[in-house]
């Protein structure tokens, strides 16, 4: 190699070894090989040389070109290795770290309670039914013996769905009780069923009122079903929820679809002498219930000479609030992660 070429090569090598990145290296490489660059310039000069020098000059230029190519390839490899080494030894990115853990969600506290109760009731031979949230006026009211002038039908506390005149009127169901009507139409007695779900009421919302909340309906129809069966079932339910026997009492309660109708209270599971949950009374209102009104059974096509039944309406939202000491019902459906992440 001519000494002029040896100097050029040495100069390039020095710059290659001090190049700190692939980008810098690439720009040096372009200087050598691009059109108008070092090598191209040398080859362009060859035709103007004395014929006797041309072959030698051409060969020398090509030799230099190959030497540079090999050196650039080695320099590229060196930089790549160095980058990998930096990553391994704790640079700003560590390819060997495990991936960040995916954030896991959790079941909504309502879903948790609903599933626990479904397990409890299915273990007692109940089936779990579903019903539509947009319900026929007939199923939500008429078939449940709720008279046309009953205040529950008032447009003030019910969401009506606009339906063309002449078509059956639809409401957002105000309770899960219409599933009783649907159950009687589909199941042959004896049967036991629960129906959990969302219900809707036109409410001015506050800490204890929400326009959308959750209930769980219970319905048992069979021969000789009595208030005794109802009480026994409620005791089993409480035992399942609180893990121990809890005393219950019945007070009269009026609901058009049960006769007799009751409010069932349970001994406050949180205290002995009165607390904020039981409002210092040692009893908490657990649920309304009663024996299914004969008119409701008849509307459901059930032979009332042979069968009777009981029904209850458990307030799932209230139960969840009681369980976790939640002071405002509106937290339940607000979708606020700061609330939900606690469950
Ligand atoms: N459906 C009634 C309500 O939402 C509760 C209820 C259910 C009462 C079953 C008696 C029997 O208020």
The DSSP string of 252-304 is E---TTEEEEEEEEEE-TT-SS--TTTTTSSEEEEEEEEEEPHHHHHHTT--T
For ligand 1, is residue 320 a contact (CB within 6 Å)? Answer: no
Q: Domain boundary at 59, 88, 117, which?
A: 88
**Which residue owns the Cα nearest ligand 1 atom 4?**
175
66 and 169: one domain? no
- The verdict on the CB of residue 312 being under 6 Å from ligand 1 is yes
Averages of pLDDT over each 10 residues, the chain, 343 residues: 82 92 92 89 88 88 91 93 80 77 92 96 97 96 92 79 93 97 96 98 90 97 97 93 91 96 93 88 94 96 97 94 91 95 93
pLDDT of residue 270: 86
Same domain, 117 and 189: yes
Asked whether residue 101 is assigned to any structural domain, the reply reads no
Q: Do 74 and 131 share a domain, yes or no? A: no
198 and 336: one domain?
A: yes
CA 286–ligand 1 middle distance (angstroms) = 12
Residue 48's domain spans which residues? Answer: 3-88
Same domain flag for 114 and 190: yes
- Are 129 and 54 members of one domain? no
Q: Are 114 and 68 within one domain?
A: no
Q: What is the predicted pLDDT for the residue at 43? A: 87
Q: Measured between alpha carbons, how far is 47 from 39 in angstroms, rounded to an integer? A: 14
Q: Which of 180, 184, 177, 259 is nearest to 215 (CA)?
A: 177
Site to probe by mutation for ligand 1, drawn from 135, 151, 175, 179 as the one with most ligand atoms within 8 Å of Cβ, is 175
Same domain, 162 and 292: yes
The residue whose CA is least distant from atom 6 of ligand 1 is 313
Whether 95 is covered by a domain: the verdict is: no
Q: What is the CATH number of the domain that holds 114?
A: 3.30.930.10
Q: What is the residue with the minimal CA distance to atom 10 of ligand 1?
A: 289
How many domains does the structure of the chain reveal?
2
Q: Which atom of ligand 1 is nearest to the CA of 144?
A: 1
């Amino acid at each position: 190699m001519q000494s002029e070429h040896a100097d050029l090569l040495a100069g390039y090598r020095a710059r290659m070894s001090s190049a700190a990145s692939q980008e810098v290296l690439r720009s040096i490489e372009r200087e050598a090989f691009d059109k108008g660059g070092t090598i191209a310039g040398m080859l362009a000069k060859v035709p103007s040389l004395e014929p006797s020098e041309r072959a030698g000059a051409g060969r020398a230029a090509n030799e230099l070109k190959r030497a540079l190519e090999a050196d650039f390839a080695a320099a590229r490899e060196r930089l790549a290795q160095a980058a990998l080494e930096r990553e391994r030894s704790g640079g700003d990115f560590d390819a060997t770290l495990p991936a960040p853990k995916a954030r896991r969600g959790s079941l909504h506290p309502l879903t948790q309670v609903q599933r626990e109760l479904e397990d409890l009731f299915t273990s007692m031979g109940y089936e779990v039914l579903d019903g539509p949230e947009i319900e026929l006026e007939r199923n939500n009211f008429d078939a449940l013996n709720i008279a046309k002038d009953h205040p529950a039908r008032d447009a003030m506390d019910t969401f009506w769905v606009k339906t063309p005149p002449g078509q059956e009127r639809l409401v957002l169901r105000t309770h899960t009780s219409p599933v009783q009507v649907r159950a009687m139409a589909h199941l042959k007695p004896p049967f036991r069923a629960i129906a959990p779900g969302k219900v809707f009421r036109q409410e001015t919302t506050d800490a204890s009122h929400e326009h959308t909340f959750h209930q769980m309906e219970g319905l048992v129809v069979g021969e000789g079903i009595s208030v005794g069966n109802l009480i026994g079932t409620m005791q089993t339910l409480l035992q399942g929820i609180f893990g121990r026997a809890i005393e219950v009492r019945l007070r009269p309660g009026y609901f058009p679809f049960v006769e007799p109708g009751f409010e069932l209270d349970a001994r406050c599971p949180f205290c002995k002498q009165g607390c904020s949950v039981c409002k210092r009374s040692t009893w908490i209102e657990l649920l309304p219930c009663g024996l299914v009104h004969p008119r409701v059974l008849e509307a459901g096509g059930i032979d009332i000479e042979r069968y009777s039944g009981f029904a209850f309406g458990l307030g799932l939202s209230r139960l969840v609030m009681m369980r976790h000491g939640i002071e405002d019902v509106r937290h339940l459906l607000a979708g606020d992660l700061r609330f939900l992440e606690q469950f």
